[in-house]
Structure 1
Amino acid sequence: MNYAFAVKWLKAFRESADAICELYADDFVFEDPILDQYQIRDKGDLGRIFVLYANKDRENGLGVHNFRIRGYEGDHRSGLIRWEWTPEDCANFIGIDVKDKPFFAQGHTFHVYNEQGQIVRESSWWDSGSILHDVGFPGVTSTPFPAAEPALA
């Protein structure tokens, strides 16, 4: 696909779970190992995962989820989408109290597309450690990347 498709995919998260699921082929595989979600092949199950991200109610504690594309590399058969995510008004995430604790994460999603331009395989990976650090989870400290070593001539 292309950058425009990646933008459409991320915007669908704010629209509805149905809007997201429409971008997937009937025969697909979805994985998000960070959330222990493997080999999901049913659109009903996929929709139940994605419904959280389309929440628009700032009072229910589920948060309003903002995604932004950082880059896309690929072609009509497959692509890697780099994205960032920031929820607002979120009270709980993966069982952690995040009320009034803003956080930010970056991740990437690899897609394989069919001839009709639908997603047939997805694997998403994101930085859960940065979330734990941002919300002050006990025992998680910030570890900056080490300085790059000079290149050898």
Structure 2
Amino acid sequence: MPIIIHKQFVNAPIQVCFDLARNVDIHIKTTAKTKEKAVGGVTNGLLNAGDSVTWEATHFGIKQKLTAKVIHMQQPTIFVDIMVKGAFKSFTHTHKFVEEKDGTLMIDIFEYKSPFGPLGIIADKLFLYRYMESFIINRAKELKKLAEIKGGHKWRSLKSLS
């Protein structure tokens, strides 16, 4: 099972980073390249434990839907979502937040299983792993920009960024 681990330091408070990462409206902004939109479940605002969201996006030129559910949340340090329906055989995405002296370390751990057995394994090696890694890194960079726009401790409201 491929595992992608990405760490991103953000010069902003842990709660700001945590809330940005679980905000549906912000997710849509940070994934504009794939034209993601929430089409089912929680379609705006903050996700909480037990919530599901269905995303519609274009990947590899194909419009796809994926439903994820938040199965664990401990504010403001961790939340975990899993795919309940979609193109992967399965995935688990763990979002960790570690408070540091001058900000927050955001850690994404994305574990997935590709569909199609041996063909999926080949796809992982040829392009899928790199595609997913790039997707996660780019989203983390966008979250960092949004968190730091408000100047860390001066940050006020998610609504002003939505």
TM bin (shorter chain): 0.3 to 0.5
TM-score normalised by length of structure 2: 0.34
Q: Which has the larger radius of gyration?
A: 1
